[in-house]
Structure 1
Amino acid sequence: MNKSKNITKTAKAIILVGLFAMVLVPAIAAAQDDVIKWRLQSFVPSGGSDWKKSVVALRDKLYERTGGRLDIELHSAESLMGSSEIFPAVSRGVIQIGHTSPAYIMDYISTASLAWGPSSFRNVSEAAYFWKHLGFEDIIRREALEKHNIHYFTDLLYFTRLVLNKPVKTNEDFEALRIRASGSLAKFIADSGAATAFVSGSELYQSLSTGAVDGAHWGGAQNANDLSLYEPAKYHASAVLGIANEIFIINDQALSSLPEDIQTTVRSTLEEHFWARTNQYEIEELEMLNQLASEKGVQTIDLPEEIVERMDKATHDFRHSEAKKSEYTAEAVERLEAYLGVLGYL
């Protein structure tokens, strides 16, 4: 009798477990279906500092803050496509999100050259105020969305400076230089007195080592150190060439199709990421320069005053040339010059 009752209880338990499984399995499947998969292509290699601190950090924050509902698959430089192809790929929806530089999107966005060009700012906080509080980033965003269905978010701001393999004490020293340069900074450096040449990042170390070029701009000290440029080049010029930055771009349809709460999380996280990453880079730049000085004998040098004055004039000419490109650049330059006037730089 007891044996029969035990069998009956066991059977009931099996039935209950089975019924629970029938309910649970669809629930698990539904939860899995709710996970949104995106692909991100970056222009930086996985070994670089920006990969971990910008790309991986953002992916992890979004995964955590959405409870795993937004899962971004990461691809480093050149893994899916070339860096110049990231912007059109995001615009067409081939990938949902990209991490790139304004330097790679100047053929598509007229304001990109102002975001990656000669700068009259003297510290990063001045630039950040222009980007965020005076609406420069909003102008870029409007152009990117209206023309290319792309949402534009600045990753971080920082200054780009020259790395040199010889000291510069006179105007003649600077004019004798051959400097690796690209984009709008190539004309800016030439207008300031030095010769320029384009060298790819993969060839830059060797070019500096052999003297094929005497200097280069490659972001800040941290970016230059990622390529070990301070081994052949022991001089870091203090003069600001331009305001540099990296960006995240998101396809409009991909963003707008997200559940509303995830859209809000994406936008707020990117905004928070900008301030945290910009501040982090600025502090770590100072730490890097101190480390380079003590460990590699790198010297920070000032350029001759006449060269700095030429750079100021070249920056002025650049702004006025860019203002003629589009209604977007005209508005941006008008706001910029009004701000520079307030700062006392015009």
Structure 2
Amino acid sequence: MPDPTRRRVLTSAGRLVLGTAGLGTAGLGTASLGTAGLAAPAVARERRVWRLATSWPKNAPGPGTTAARLAERITALSGGRLTVELHAAGELVPALEVFDAVAAGTVELGHSAALFWSGKMPSAPYFTAVPFGLLPEGHDAWLTAGGGQALWDELYGAFGVKPFAAGNSGIQMGGWYRKPIAGLEDLKGLRVRMPGLGGEVLRRLGAAPTTLPPGEIFTALSTGAIDGAEFLGPWQDLSLGLNRAARYYLWPGWHEPNGSAEALVNAAAYAALPEDLQRLIATCCEAENRRGPAEAEWRNAEALARLREDPEVTLAAWPEPVLRAARAQSEAVLAELAEASALDRRLRDSYAAAKARLLPWGRVGRHALLGAQLGA
């Protein structure tokens, strides 16, 4: 006779698992079989198994470890009701196809960066970084208080994807180059790994930008297939060995002053979850979104100190003429994006309003304080 306390449960994502119902408050081991009969069984709770595909190499410091912690948090805090299996770039889907896999329901979860989807949604990079745009805390302020999240939901919702901010690599560096950059002429024809809006700005300055997944950057740079590459900050760049592939390390990271990572959730699978598990996913993403930049700030400072002591590395600022030209081209790129659709225009206007609101406070607050600390 089948055990009445167990039943087969088909999850919303089609993964077949077993659900277990407890008997009363005493549990199966102590349930009484007196004349009153068995206590009414509790409703069996579904146990779901979701797959999380990422754009990052396995155990990659920063976004890779953020994705791993996200999977662990959801699994642990759900008590196993929602088990998340982590898959690094290429294990289930290629690094740059994570969005499509989530949209199609091939996987229920993804962890990546919005700038990779500019070919599908030209304004998607707003949700990772905008050249000369908001810093990490300003970006989060726009999402949570300035209407950015609603626009993000609308943009991705057309593909059946629900996005969450889930990690941040902080302010970034300007990238590694095999030859020094002394002025605009040195950018002509330069093959540079720089995705997103920053790459488009470089293209307008005469360079030849390309998009490569993180796991392919070192080989391309070390073999000379590309002349320069940006990834994230010193901590993550050293983890890829980029200091062994090129010598000149430029700052600041004007192309990505913010480094938001995103959790992508298949909207249908998310809607099928009980409300408490939906809230749990949102809370776990928020926790990683807070931990990520703190971790990056500490590790980047540590890694930069190591680089300063490396005689094989030359740290240098972007030449001022390049920064001026890049700033002007950035404004032109954003203006053109706004003409693509009504949503793109609303997105640009919302972001511009947030920047206009936050910059004056940043000038008299954070920037002034940093200048005072440095004696500048």
TM-score in same-fold range (> 0.5): yes
Separation (CA, whole Å) in 2 of partners of 1:87 and 1:52:
16
Mapping for residues 303-342 of structure 1, pairs under 5 Å: 303-342=318-357
Question: In the TM superposition, what whole-angstrom CA distance separates every residue of 1:284-309 from its partner, at most 9, and x where no partner exists?
Answer: 22222222222565333111111100
1:49 is paired with a residue of what secondary structure?
Answer: coil
1:165 corresponds, among 174, 178, 186, to 178
Q: CA deviation at 1:319?
A: 0.8
- Assess if the C-alpha contact under 8 Å between 2:194 and 2:210 holds in 1: yes
Deviation by residue 1:281-334 (Cα, 9 ceiling, x = unmatched): 233222222222225653331111111000101110111011112222211211
**Structure richer in helix, relative to its length:** 1
Q: List alignment gaps of at least 5 residues for structure 1.
A: 1-19
In structure 1, what is the equivalent of residue 232 of structure 2? 219
1:79 aligns with 91
In the alignment, structure 1 residue 292 sits paired with structure 2 residue 307: yes
CA distance in 1, matches of 2:55, 2:302: 25
Alignment pair present for 1:186 and 2:199: yes
Preserved contact between residue 42 and residue 83 of structure 1 (Cα < 8 Å): yes
Partners of 2:122 and 2:64 in 1: CA distance:
30
The yes-or-no answer on 1:246 pairing with 2:257 is no
Q: Does residue 154 of the first structure (1) align with residue 165 of the second (2)? A: yes
Residues 23-56 of structure 1, C-alpha deviation per residue, up to 9 Å, x if partnerless? 69xx9x9999632211111111113114652111
SS of the residue corresponding to residue 243 of structure 2 reads coil
Letter in 2 for 1:55: A
- For residues 211 and 76 of structure 2, the distance between their equivalents in structure 1, rounded to whole angstroms, comes to 41
CA distance in 2, matches of 1:89, 1:64: 25
CA contact 1:83–1:104 (8 Å) conserved in 2: no
- Structure 2: distance between partners of 1:30 and 1:296: 67
Q: Structure 1 residue 87: deviation in Å? A: 1.8
Cα distance in 2, alignment partners of residues 31 and 291 from structure 1: 57
Assess, with a 3 A threshold, how the Cα gap between structure 1 residues 331 and 71 changes in structure 2: closer, same or farther: same
Unaligned runs of 5+ in 2: 1-27, 33-38, 363-376
For residues 21-170 of structure 1, the aligned pairs below 5 Å read 34-50=46-62, 53-116=65-128, 118-121=130-133, 123-145=135-157, 147-157=158-168, 158-160=170-172, 161-170=174-183
Residue identity matched to 2:294: N
Which moves more between the two structures, 218-227 or 324-333?
A: 218-227
- Is the Cα contact below 8 Å between 1:235 and 1:301 reproduced in 2? yes
Contact 1:86 1:100 (8 Å CA) reproduced:
yes
Question: In the aligned structure 2, how far is the partner of 1:283 from the partner of 1:122?
Answer: 20
Q: Which of 240, 244, 247 is the equivalent residue of 1:231?
A: 244
Residue type of the alignment partner of 1:205 = F
Q: Normalization by structure 1: what TM-score? A: 0.81
- CA gap of 1:30–1:90, structure 2 versus 1, over 3 A, is farther
Report the 3-state secondary structure (helix = DSSP H, G, I; strand = E; otherwise coil) of the residue aligned with 1:248: strand
Q: In 2 relative to 1, CA 272–117 (structure 1 residues): closer, same or farther, beyond 3 Å?
A: closer
- SS of the aligned residue for 2:282 comes to helix
* Identity, % of aligned positions: 22
CA RMSD, Structure 1 to Structure 2 (Å): 3.1
Give the SS at the match of 2:355.
helix
1:237–1:302: 8 Å Cα contact kept in structure 2? yes
In the alignment, is the contact (CA less than 8 A) between 1:44 and 1:50 conserved in 2?
Answer: no
Q: Please report how far the alpha carbon of residue 197 of structure 1 lies from its aligned counterpart in structure 2 after TM superposition.
A: 5.0
CA deviation string 1:109-142 (max 9, x = no partner): 4431323454223643233322332122321112
CA deviations on 1:73-114 (whole Å, 9 max, x unpaired) are: 111111112233322222232221111221333344443132
Q: 1:165 to 1:268 in 2, by over 3 A?
A: same
Separation in structure 2 between the aligned mates of residue 169 and residue 191 of structure 1, nearest angstrom? 18
- What SS does the corresponding residue of 1:138 show, helix, strand or coil? helix
Question: Structure 1 residues 207 and 106 mapped into 2: Cα distance closer, same or farther (>3 Å)?
Answer: closer
Aligned residue for 1:300, secondary structure, equals: strand
For residue 165 of structure 1, what is the amino acid of its counterpart? R
- State the shift of 1:202 in Å: 5.1
Q: 1:210 to 1:86 in 2, by over 3 A?
A: closer
